Amino acid sequence: MNKPLPHSSHWGAFSALACGNQLEVIPHPNDPDPAPLLGNIPASVSHRARIARPMVRRGWLERGPEPDRARGRDDFIAVSWNQALDLAAAELRRVYTTYGGRSVYGGSYGWSSAGRFHHAQSQVHRFLNAAGGYVKSVNTYSSAAAAVILPHVIGSQEAAGRENVSLHEVATQTEIVLAFGGMALKNTHVSSGGTSQHIARGSLQTAHRRGAAFHLFSPLRDDLPPELDAVWHPLRPGTDVALMLGIAHTLVTEGLHDAAFVERYCVGYGDFAAYLLGETDGQPKHAAWAASVCGLPADDIRSVARLAAGRRALVTCAQSLQRAEHGEQPVWMGVVLAALLGQIGLPGGGFVYAMGSLANVGKPALAVPLPTLPQGRNRIPDFIPVARVADMLLNPNGRYDFNGQPRTYPDIRLVYWAGGNPFHHHQDLNRLGEAFSRPDTVIVHDSGWTASARHADLVFPATVTLEREDIGASANDPLMVAMHRIVTPFAESRDDYTIFTDLAARLGIEEQFTEGRTASQWLRHLYETTRLALLKRGDPAPDFDQFWQNGELTLPTLRWDGGMVRAFRHDPDTHPLPTPSGKIAIRSETIASFDYPDCPGHPTWMPPVEGAGSAATHRFPLQLVANQPATRLHSQLDYGATSIRSKVRDREPVRIHPADAAARGIADGDVVRLFNDRGACLAGAIISDALRPGVVQLATGAWYDPQNGMCVHGNPNVLTRDAGTSRLSQGCTGQLCLVQLERFDGAVPPVKAFDPPPG
């Protein structure tokens, strides 16, 4: 009788047992709250959406490399592995020889799958570095605005997030949580690299039982679990900064703020206070003003300020808040609000970024390094902020600003993508489609026929993680998992490493790429980094074979000490922050010196181009929240059982408030059409009072299925706006946009997203 073998995913460690065509997935026994996303895994081994063979787009094969509007619409021709690899190698050689590495975009953003070696992004970067370099991307779709603003204000994102306040401290010490954007458990299901114990729910429940008060500031009630009995403040989407200013105004004008903390630990309060009190612009940011912007009662704003003052208060800021126009501001203002409360650096108090946005934020870091595939050296210095990819392809040599630097886009001829799905993650997909018509060649590795694979010229079928051996681990979870192969590879699919090795051989760089190792030799080699560090500490350090046989290894973690923020609180002179002043920047001279109208020198409320109160609301009166899905990770395994079960008439569910539904004659289960000037999609209606009226919510990740000018499956990124958060960080703004919605009374087209393309 076979026994289940250990494996791991971004949404949890598990073991799996293959029995004929069936696959049983068993959550890790120590996981107190396994993620329902595990239910998607069985479908991954043999679904019709899997790519069976290497494929070449007909137009590219017949006419050769060139910009082509047929990309994404063309049919495909199956070729042998040798033919496909020869074609790709010849094209890489042509582009490198004719245009050089500055014309190759290998930013290849994406979460791919858990596993330290078969990490597609690391593989593609290592390969392109050996081949001649590539234009890379910086920062993430998740968190670009925070990653850029936080170092100016308090320290790195890690310092303000992962090392600052622990979930244990929340459970045991926090008295009041002001959760801006909430801490939705669906988000805590996931962490890059995986997690063996989902502890967010348990930690929050313990805090609640101890008497901690939770205040949820979000247009969606389920952004905190119901068992916390949180006070729900359903603000207008994208208005958190105004709300925080209103709270701050109450604190300051009622003498409730911690003036001694501000004096000792912060710089720039005077300029900010002048703005807060209306001395610089004539508008005091009092609670009544904030109420008029964010749509909450002024009395509630005042009472939140009074409740939080003088208590162990924790301001949390979800990643989603900064994935919007001026996304830097709620993060910055969150820090400032926590500074006014005087709690920064105290256990369970102050400000924490992204707690509740990922499974492992708030857990202690590992004491030993993890196995990591070296990526080599990139000799091309060019980069773009990751979410500016369409701008780059559409504007070769175009100018833009980024974090104080005037920059120029490179002229890209070849795009290489492995382990990401830009036609899931990018905004304004019609514009992205136009951008993808510009390069000469697009090469994609994926296991499934995602829209990104359909927009490629050369498509290489990649294995899924269950089809290969790897090591699963994340920097803030103690379990390292020996990811055993559970099933044999689907059809002709191959691992990214094998594909790159064969390409490298054709380009004469095989030795450089492989260093003479097979995939299993790499696993043993990379494991040694961790084993030697364990040995050095005197901890149990099994050899690779023992680890593999045991199936897992518990790694030591560092003692939680609150990191640099707590050390700064204890002694700001000995442990200054890594900001220019060494203190918390309520005003940043550096940012002020950039003179960006969309990111001034202190936190500022700036009405959005598209949002509450903007002119476009006349035509598109509903605010769409395009957030992370509860039933899959991003677009991964959208064809899996958990994701499919959630669909309404085969489409992604859109939640609508009863009043908005009634005004449009929409009933539960109707197919509806969402639209604005950028695009349209169909979705399946769910009527729900868990939203603020005027807000609709459609999660990301339904595979893009364009038919007759609209996505018939419900991908919200046909509607979102492709604009940076600001000149400072140029982050993704996909979280919010304006739409109109109507019942769809036409013949409902079948969803074809999971069917292979023609040919």
Site residues for ligand PGD per CB under 6 A: 110-113, 118, 120, 141-142, 323, 418-421, 424-425, 445-448, 450, 462, 496, 626-628, 633-636, 700, 716-717, 720, 732, 734-735
Question: Closest approach of Cβ 129 to ligand PGD, in Å?
Answer: 17
Q: What DSSP string describes 639-659?
A: TSHHHHHT-BTTB-EEEE-HH
Closest to ligand PGD by CB, 251 or 681? 681
Spatial separation of the C-alpha atoms in residues 451 and 728, rounded to whole Å? 31
Answer for the pair 391, 398: CB distance below 8 angstroms, yes or no.
Answer: yes
CB 267 within 8 A of CB 586: yes
Of the candidates 109, 265, 527, 704, the residue annotated as catalytic is 109
Instruction: List, in sequence order, every residue forming a beta bridge with 215; answer none if it has no partner.
Output: 178, 231
List beta partners, residue 379.
none
Q: Which residues contact 279 (CB under 8 A, 6 or more apart)?
A: none
Catalytic residue, chosen from 111, 265, 353, 497, is 111
Whole-angstrom distance, CA of residue 164 vs CA of residue 172: 15
Contacts of 9 (CB under 8 A, 6+ apart): 37, 38, 41, 113, 114, 194, 465, 472
Least distance to ligand PGD from the beta carbon of 465, Å? 6
How far is C-alpha 85 from the geometric centre of its chain's CA atoms?
32
Is 308 or 459 the residue whose CB approaches ligand PGD more closely? 459
What Rg value do the Cα atoms of the chain yield, rounded? 25
Q: How many residues does the chain have?
A: 759
User: How far, in whole angstroms, is CA 544 from its chain's centroid?
Assistant: 33
State the minimum distance, in angstroms, from the CB of residue 423 to ligand PGD: 9
Q: What minimum distance in Å lies between the beta carbon of 109 and ligand PGD?
A: 6
Least distance between ligand PGD and beta carbon 447 (Å): 5
Of 623, 682, 695, 692, the residue nearest 653 (C-alpha): 682
| Helix locations, 133-176, DSSP H | 144-153, 157-160, 167-172
Cα atoms found within 13 Å of the Cα of residue 177, Cβ hemisphere only: 39
DSSP string, 249-291: HHHHHTT-S-HHHHHHHEE-HHHHHHHHTTTTTS----HHHHH
As given in the structure block, the two tokens for residue 83 are 């033919």
- Round to whole Å and give the CA distance between 97 and 292: 60
Task: Extract the runs of DSSP E, i.e. beta strands, from 40-103.
Answer: 55-57, 76-78
Residue 101 or residue 716: which is nearer to ligand PGD going by CB? 716
Q: Alpha-carbon distance 657 to 685, whole Å?
A: 10
Q: Are strands 176-180 and 313-317 parallel, antiparallel or unpaired?
A: parallel
Shortest Cβ distance from residue 323 to ligand PGD (Å)? 5
Minimum CB distance to ligand PGD smaller for 181 or for 295: 181
Token pair recorded at residue 622 = 């509903």
Please, which residue, 203 or 735, has the CB nearer to ligand PGD?
735
Beta bridge partners of 406: 401
Task: Return the number of the residue (248 or 462) whose C-beta is nearest ligand PGD.
Answer: 462
| Residue 23: its H or E element | strand 22-27
For the CA atoms of 253, 258, 264, 265, the dihedral, rounded to the nearest 10 degrees, stands at: -100
Catalytic residue flag (residue 289) = no
Question: Minimum distance between the CB of residue 332 and ligand PGD, rounded to whole angstroms?
Answer: 20
Least Cβ distance, residue 113 to ligand PGD (angstroms): 3
The DSSP element (H or E) to which 524 belongs, if any, is helix 519-537
Asked whether the beta carbons of 15 and 482 are under 8 A apart, the reply is no
Q: Report the nearest approach of ligand PGD to the CB of residue 216 (Å).
A: 18
CA distances from 23 to 321, 552, 632, 640, 649 (A): 38, 21, 18, 12, 27
Name the region of 543 (left: φ>0; alpha: ψ -120 to 50; beta: rest). beta
Q: Closer CB to ligand PGD, residue 419 or residue 679?
A: 419
Query: Of 49 and 308, which CB lies nearer to ligand PGD in the complex structure?
Result: 49
Q: How far is the CB of 635 from ligand PGD (least distance, A)?
A: 3
CA 81/CA 94 separation, integer angstroms: 20
Report in angstroms how near the CB of residue 416 gets to ligand PGD at its nearest.
Answer: 11
- List the helix and strand counts (H, then E) for the chain: 26, 31
Residue by residue, DSSP assigns 559-594 as PP--HHHHHHHH-TTTS--SSTTSSEESS-HHHHHH
Across the strands, what pairs with 483?
470
Q: How far is the CB of 140 from ligand PGD (least distance, A)?
A: 6
Instruction: Give 244 or 637: the residue with its C-beta nearer to ligand PGD.
Output: 637
Pick from 616, 695, 615: nearest CA to 659? 695
Q: How far is the CB of 163 from ligand PGD (least distance, A)?
A: 21
Is 497 one of the catalytic residues? no
CB closer to ligand PGD out of 96 and 704: 704
Judged by beta carbon, residue 288 or residue 519, the one nearer ligand PGD is 519
Q: In the complex with ligand PGD, which residue's Cβ is closer, 167 or 432?
A: 432
Name the closest residue to ligand PGD (Cβ).
734
Q: Judged by CB, which is closer to ligand PGD: 462, or 564?
A: 462
* Positions marked catalytic: 109, 111
